[in-house]
Each structure stands twice: as structure tokens, then as C-alpha cells.
Chains A and B, each alone.
Chain A
Amino acid sequence: MYRSNVLVCGGTGCTSSSSGEIIKALEKEIKARGLENEVEVVKTGCFGLCALGPIMIVYPEGSFYSMVKVEDIPEIVEEHLLKGRIVKRLLYQETVDGDNIKSLNETPFYAKQRRTALRNCGVINPEKIDEYIAMDGYKALAKALTEMTPEQVIEEIKASGLRGRGGGGFPTGVKWSFAAAQPKGQKYVCCNADEGDPGAFMDRSILEGDPHTVLEAMAIAGYAIGSNQGYIYVRAEYPIAVERLQIAIDQAHEYGLLGENIFGTDFSFDVQLRLGAGAFVCGEETALMTSIEGNRGEPRPRPPFPAVKGLFGKPTILNNVETYANICQIILNGAEWFSSMGTEKSKGTKVFALGGKINHTGLVEVPMGTTLREIVEEIGGGVPGGKKFKAAQTGGPSGGCIPAEHLDIPIDYDNLISIGSMMGSGGLIVMDETTCMVDIAKFFLEFTVDESCGKCTPCRIGTKRLLEMLEKITEGNATMEDIDKMEELCYYIKENALCGLGQTAPNPVLSTLHFFRDEYIAHVKDKKCPAGVCKSLLQYSIDPDKCRGCTACARVCPNGAISGKVKEPHAIDTAKCIKCGACMEKCKFGAISKG
């Protein structure tokens, strides 16, 4: 037993800000003071508050140190771990209340969260199976195998109302029942860990922080549908997740929790890893399976659905990481417990990766039905720098932008679709007034054009044409007729593309057109970009009343576009201006504006 435990986040975000070095420094300082038998350093998964990384929590006090630097370690070890005096100045300031220290759960970031899928992330050491077992790990599998029939497992999942967390929201239990209904024989359980939505990192955090929960849930799924083999298709760009998954698989084998005759029953199950090589379309189920088979990850038409004919032509179920992360809790606590959270048609919780122009970037898990306003303003701490909130983007390249007037909508699958976005895997990017919505639509279209596999024409050529139209708008060469044509093309692509990638590719355009049409019109009619992003439409000018003639701008201009005498107002030659913005940054008098 240790008297103190120091938990340091070893997720990708904190690792990128040197949490590895912090662990080393901690161990060194602890040893130097002879505390190695009293204080344990634990490398955990993600705590969620990535904006303040690297993060460290000391128990039993629960002191939450944020943005820790290697230089701070001797002080923390000496003062806190040796002398028992918390180093207040290094604490997350939201937890400091005068002389008192508040619990983390009372801070705005954590108060409204309900960590279910993330329950073990930041709590256990993901590389030690014993810690997972101590948190009721593999108890759900034991219960399923020894107390429940496969049919009962499926009924429980159905009754819970759990829907696929990858984006589509298909009821998980129903999916399982389709595969279970197929004749006995080889079947497969797959896990989609190819989190390709740029700006989303929920699945990565679960894999890094709690890999065993995914393995356990896959085994339960295997029992339910009658499969003995699972595959996890994981992004090669997630090296930490890959490493921890492999460690988890090896440990589970060693403990007999994977392999032959699990818990002495006649159920056997094994899991293999397959590394993706970077293709967004491989998040689509049929494409993912083609890729596991070693080919170009192109989708194929459905039916037949994977539950009938999937991987290697056999009945297969494919679920997302976060979906699996809910399974064990449902088996242990019952369907009723799970369905008590959420809205009528969307049960449970959802993890969101909060990013972009928001104070608390990080990972949050809230009950379905929480409003966007609660997430953005309360949990996320609002938009930094006194800027105005403009939109929240959900669903990545398949989703849409939600404007301020819809901030009070309770988030669930159906509500998001009704306002032209979608749940997606849970990326939630906040944009402020300096983000141009046409530019954002263009950004996502560049992504889909790049990632379109090329198999079907509506997607391959349609998205390219769509992108060209958007470029025309951002360059100021479009007419109002182009906007109508663009809208028409969007619907054509949606109706005719083969797979989910193409069918949802126009969503970013359609939703911005719907909510921010005035911005499109400003680009087309006034040849202006209201957010000041689209370079071709920018005009820099100097206000002669504010200019003092200090010549700073003229000296910094790389193209000699600014002229004027000392102590007299300067002027910009727009024909020469390359719109780099250097003059505006240099001006001390706020005399230069763009628009």
C-alpha cells in the first residue's frame, strides 16, 4: 500500500506536452527523498481537460495540478509529497476557493459530466490488467457467460436503447440480433477504431485509457452472436493506442480472459489488431472490411449487409469503440440503468471532443439531451479572447454547423439531424466571428475530395465540382446563379453517392448555406468576406486620421506596397498588396483595417 498516488495523464495530448518527462522527473525526485515505497506514480489515460495539459492528480487529497512543468516537480515532491503542503499556486485555479480546495467534480468542467464510457480513463493504469479487474473489469463477461444466454445478452442491449456511437446511430442490439440470426459457422466481431474525423479523439482516448473495456465488450458481442474471432481496425497514426491495445490483448491472454474456454465455459474468443494506413473512407463499414482483407479500402453496395455477408464473406458485426465502451456497464448495471439517462430516443451518454475556439478544449461526456449551450458555455468555458460565438460544428466532414440560435437544442441523434447536422463520432468544434463559414465549407470539401475513394461518379466528380464552385465564391468570381447550381448539386450527390462518405459530403455546404446564407451572398454580391479570411476578397486600408506616419508598416511590407512621408499618413497600393497582413500586425495605432 502506498500512502499517496500520483496520477499523471499519459494520453496523446499530455504526452505531446512532455508528460513522459514529468513522470521521469517525479520518479527521480521521489527516489532522491526515499519516498519510493510510500508514493506511487501511475501513468493513466486521458483526464479530459487537454487544454491544461500536462495534468497530474495527487491522491488521497485529489489535488489537481495543471500545466505542470518539469521545473515544478522538485517543489511538488518536497512540499506536497514529503511535507504534506499542497502547492496551491500550481493547482488548477478553478479548484482553489480562497483557503479551501474544491473537489474536481465541483468545477464547471466536470460538474455536468457523467463519465460512463470514460469511467476508467484517467483513473487506472491502462497497461495493468489488475487495475482494470479491480474496477469490476471482466465481471460483465463473466456474468454474460455464466448467467445469461446469448439471446438474453442481445435482449439486454436492445432494451438499453444503446445506439451506434460512430455516427449513424443504428440500434446496437438490433444489429447484433441480425448477425446472431445467421446460421452457425464462422462469424466475426469487428471494432472500428479508425477515427478519421479530423478533430475527434474520443475513441483514441478510450483505447489509450481503458483498452480492456473494448476487448471485454467484443468478447461479450462474440458470445452473443456466436463468433470466436474479433478484429480491431485501428489508425496507425495512434501509436500509443496501438501499443496499449497489444499489451491489453497479451495480458488478457495470460489471464485466460481471451483465448480458449474462457471462464471454463466452452466459449473461446480471440482478438487481432489490424492497422489502417490513413484513409477516411475506411471508417465506412464495408470499406473497413475490404481494407482488413488487404485491398484498397473501397466500399461496396449494401445489401447484402455485413450482418449477412461481411468480413471474408462471413456474417460480421462492426461497432465503434465508444459503443463497445458502454456494453460492459449495461450488462453489469442493467438496461434500465442505462436507459434512465438521455432522451426518449437517444439513451445513455455521449463523449464529445471539444476543440477549436473554446477555453476548455478536451474530452467531455454528458448525458444525451444536454444542450449545446451547456457544453459550450458551462463545460467548455465559452469562447476565448472576448470573441463572439458563431457556430459549433458537429459530425466532422459529414456534419454541419449549428448557429447560435440553436444553442439551446438538446443534443441527441434526431435533433441534430433535424437541424441539418449529425451526431457523427462526437467531434465538436467551436467557431467564433473570425471564422468564415464559406471557408469552413471549403475546408471540409477539400477533405472529402482528397478522401473520396473514386469508386462512384457522384462522389468522385461531384465533390470536386462542388469544391471548384466554393473556390469560385471565395475568390469573388461567382454569381448568385452559382449558389443555386451548387445547392442543386449538393442534393444530387446526397441522393446518388454509393456510401456514407459521399452521401454526407455536401452537408457542410448545405448547413452553412442554410444558416449563413448572408455570408455567401456577401462573398458573391459585395465581393467581401465578412470574417476577413478569404484572401482574394480582402482589402487592407489605412485610416489617415489614425496614422501617425511612423513608417513601421512601410518597412515591414514585403512588396513595397505602402508609401508615405514620415509623420504623414501612409497609403496602401492595392494593386501591389499581397494581403499578407504584416502591416496590420505591426501598426501600433490600429490605423490599418481589413475588410
Chain B
Amino acid sequence: MLKNISTIPFNGTEQQRTKLMEVIESHKDDPGAIMPVLQQAQEIYGYLPKEVQIMIAEGLNVPVEEVYGVSTFYSQFSLTPKGKYNISVCLGTACYVKGAGKLIDEITDRLGIGPEECTEDGKFSLTACRCIGACGLAPVLTVNDEVYGRLEPEDIPEILAKYN
């Protein structure tokens, strides 16, 4: 899938680097290590900037191209940083026919960011996700781990206000 690549400068800490190196070390000899290492690297950094992908490639002794190939293939991997509050709007079919697209428009109008983007203050990011399986509550969105269901665009300001 097509992915946005972050232009925000990388500012990983030494502590994060040490953690990543430990992860790489523990998977070094496993066949098919790229996926689990990327999954854990994303937990450490919150996203997968190219600097991290290069570290992984060097650590696992595989071409960067291969790491990049896997990281851009799966939608779970994010190449842009997430905001403090990540708003994820479900665009599964059930939510779509019940107007999930309008929820995204409303959020974009209010926050000035589109899907896969983050507000400049780093507070909110927006993602359009595939079905989270709560079709009975369609349309659904989540803010971090909090689920909001049976929504109308008018509900958006109230939800956003909770995090301001």
C-alpha cells in the first residue's frame, strides 16, 4: 500500500537505540526475523523512520531494501509518527455505508489533517483503519484504546474536546 513518509527530523534517544539493539540481537539468527523486529521497533519508537529501518537492516545483515519492502507492505507499520492521541476511523464496509467517510471529513475540517497525518503540535494524528470488528456499533472510531460507536459527525467536537 501507498505510505506517507515522514519529513519530521528523527530524534531517537540512546536508550531507544539500546533497546532496539537488544531486540535485533535476540532475533539475529531466526529465519524471517524482519517482521517481529519491525513490530517491536515500532513499539519502541512509535513509528518506523528510515534511520530505524537502516539500523535494523545493518543489525540483521540484510539489504535496507528488504526491510523497507516489508515495512511498506503491511498496513500495521507506520512510517510517520503518531500523535499523542491517535484517532483511528474505521473504514470497513459496515462503517462506510453508515457514514464513516463523513466522520473523517469532520475531523479533517476541525484538525486540518488528513489520514496518515499528524497535527504540528504532535497532539492528534488521524488514521483510516480497516475493520476493527465492532460492526454492530458502526460507524466506529477509536482514540488510542478508547472506542466510540454509533457516531454522527456532530459527535466529533465533543470527542475531540475530551482530549484538549
Q: Which of A266-299 contact B (CB under 8 A)?
A: 275-280, 291-297
Decide yes or no whether A494 CB sits under 8 A from chain B. no
Interface size for chain A: under 10, 10 to 19, 20 to 34, or 35 or more residues? 35 or more
Q: Are A294 and B34 in contact (CB under 8 A)?
A: yes
Complex formed: what's the CA distance from A297 to B119 in Å?
32
A480 CB contacts on chain B under 8 angstroms = none
Q: A13-B135, A295-B32 are in contact. Are A277 and B69 (CB under 8 A)?
A: no
Q: How far is the CB of B156 from chain A (nearest CB, A)?
A: 14
Decide yes or no whether A362 CB sits under 8 A from chain B. yes
Q: A294-B35, A357-B97, A443-B93 are in contact. Are A279 and B73 (CB under 8 A)?
A: yes
Q: Are A440 and B133 in contact (CB under 8 A)?
A: no
Which of A29-37, A197-205, A302-310 lines the interface with chain B? Answer: A197-205
Q: Which of A161-218 contact B (CB under 8 A)?
A: 195-201, 204
Decide yes or no whether B131 CB sits under 8 A from chain A. yes
A53, A237, A355, A356: the one contacting B130 at CB < 8 Å is: A237
B35, B73, B131: the one contacting A198 at CB < 8 Å is: B131
Decide yes or no whether A361 CB sits under 8 A from chain B. yes
B31, B76, B91, B98: the one contacting A277 at CB < 8 Å is: B76
Q: How far is the CB of A504 from chain B (nearest CB, A)?
A: 15
Q: Are B2 and A12 in contact (CB under 8 A)?
A: no
Q: Are A356 and B137 in contact (CB under 8 A)?
A: no
> Of residues B32, B70, B73, B77, which shows the largest number of chain A Cβ atoms within 10 Å of its Cβ?
B73
B129 CB contacts on chain A under 8 angstroms = 237
Q: A16-B140, A16-B149, A440-B97 are in contact. Are A293 and B133 (CB under 8 A)?
A: no
Complex formed: what's the CA distance from A264 to B98 in Å?
54
B132 CB contacts on chain A under 8 angstroms = 12, 16, 237
User: Which residue on A lies nearest to B77, using beta carbons?
Assistant: A277
A355 CB contacts on chain B under 8 angstroms = 93-94, 135-136, 138
Q: Are A198 and B75 in contact (CB under 8 A)?
A: no
Decide yes or no whether A17 CB sits under 8 A from chain B. yes
Complex formed: what's the CA distance from A435 to B93 in Å?
12
Complex formed: what's the CA distance from A183 to B135 in Å?
45
Complex formed: what's the CA distance from A451 to B34 in Å?
20
Decide yes or no whether B49 CB sits under 8 A from chain A. no
User: Which residue on B lies nearest to A450, using beta carbons?
Assistant: B1
A16, A199, A277, A280: the one contacting B93 at CB < 8 Å is: A199
A-B pair count, CB < 8 Å, reads 126
Q: A17-B137, A355-B135, A361-B135 are in contact. Are A199 and B94 (CB under 8 A)?
A: yes
Q: Are A361 and B138 in contact (CB under 8 A)?
A: yes
Complex formed: what's the CA distance from A12 to B77 in Å?
23
Decide yes or no whether A238 CB sits under 8 A from chain B. yes
Q: Are A443 and B96 in contact (CB under 8 A)?
A: yes
B111 CB contacts on chain A under 8 angstroms = none
Q: How far is the CB of A278 from chain B (nearest CB, A)?
A: 4
B6 CB contacts on chain A under 8 angstroms = none
User: Which residue on B lies nearest to A354, using beta carbons?
Assistant: B135
Interface size for chain B: under 10, 10 to 19, 20 to 34, or 35 or more residues? 35 or more
Q: How far is the CB of A537 from chain B (nearest CB, A)?
A: 16
B75 CB contacts on chain A under 8 angstroms = 277-279
Complex formed: what's the CA distance from A236 to B140 in Å?
18
User: Which residue on A lies nearest to B42, using beta carbons?
Assistant: A277
Q: How far is the CB of A313 from chain B (nearest CB, A)?
A: 12
A238 CB contacts on chain B under 8 angstroms = 133
Q: Are A200 and B131 in contact (CB under 8 A)?
A: yes
Decide yes or no whether B159 CB sits under 8 A from chain A. no
Interface mask (B29-55 → A, CB under 8 Å = 1, otherwise 0): 001111110110000000000000000
Q: Which of A503-519 contact B (CB under 8 A)?
A: none
Decide yes or no whether A467 CB sits under 8 A from chain B. no
Decide yes or no whether B151 CB sits under 8 A from chain A. no
Q: Are A275 and B131 in contact (CB under 8 A)?
A: no
Q: Are B93 and A50 in contact (CB under 8 A)?
A: no
Q: Are A201 and B2 in contact (CB under 8 A)?
A: no
Complex formed: what's the CA distance from A336 to B16 in Å?
60
A441 CB contacts on chain B under 8 angstroms = none
Q: Which of A481-500 contact B (CB under 8 A)?
A: none
Q: A356-B94, A396-B93, A431-B97 are in contact. Are A277 and B74 (CB under 8 A)?
A: yes
Decide yes or no whether A393 CB sits under 8 A from chain B. yes
Decide yes or no whether A466 CB sits under 8 A from chain B. no
Q: How far is the CB of B7 from chain A (nearest CB, A)?
A: 22
Complex formed: what's the CA distance from A236 to B39 in Å?
10
A353 CB contacts on chain B under 8 angstroms = 135
Complex formed: what's the CA distance from A12 to B134 in Å?
6
A53, A201, A396: the one contacting B133 at CB < 8 Å is: A201
Q: Which of A1-51 contact B (CB under 8 A)?
A: 12-13, 16-17, 49-51
Q: How far is the CB of A45 from chain B (nearest CB, A)?
A: 13
Decide yes or no whether B21 CB sits under 8 A from chain A. no
Q: How far is the CB of B140 from chain A (nearest CB, A)?
A: 7
Complex formed: what's the CA distance from A362 to B147 in Å?
18
Complex formed: what's the CA distance from A444 to B134 in Å?
19
Q: How far is the CB of B150 from chain A (nearest CB, A)?
A: 9
A196, A199, A278, A292: the one contacting B135 at CB < 8 Å is: A199
Q: Are A16 and B94 in contact (CB under 8 A)?
A: no
Q: Which of A429-447 contact B (CB under 8 A)?
A: 429, 431, 435, 440, 443-444
Q: How far is the CB of A464 from chain B (nearest CB, A)?
A: 11
Complex formed: what's the CA distance from A198 to B140 in Å?
13
A435 CB contacts on chain B under 8 angstroms = 97
Complex formed: what's the CA distance from A200 to B130 in Å?
11
Complex formed: what's the CA distance from A443 to B96 in Å?
8
B2, B38, B133: the one contacting A13 at CB < 8 Å is: B133
Q: A293-B31, A297-B73 are in contact. Are A53 and B136 (CB under 8 A)?
A: yes
Extra 8 A-B pairs, beta carbons < 8 Å, given A50-B134, A53-B136, A200-B131:
A276-B74, A278-B76, A294-B34, A295-B32, A355-B93, A356-B97, A440-B97, A443-B96
30 contacts between A and B (CB under 8 A): A12-B132, A13-B134, A16-B137, A50-B134, A197-B131, A198-B91, A198-B93, A198-B94, A198-B130, A199-B93, A199-B94, A237-B130, A277-B77, A278-B76, A279-B74, A291-B35, A293-B32, A294-B31, A294-B32, A294-B33, A294-B70, A296-B70, A296-B73, A297-B74, A355-B94, A355-B138, A362-B136, A429-B93, A429-B97, A431-B97
Interface residues of B (CB under 8 A from A): 1-2, 31-36, 38-39, 69-70, 73-77, 91-98, 129-138, 140, 147, 149
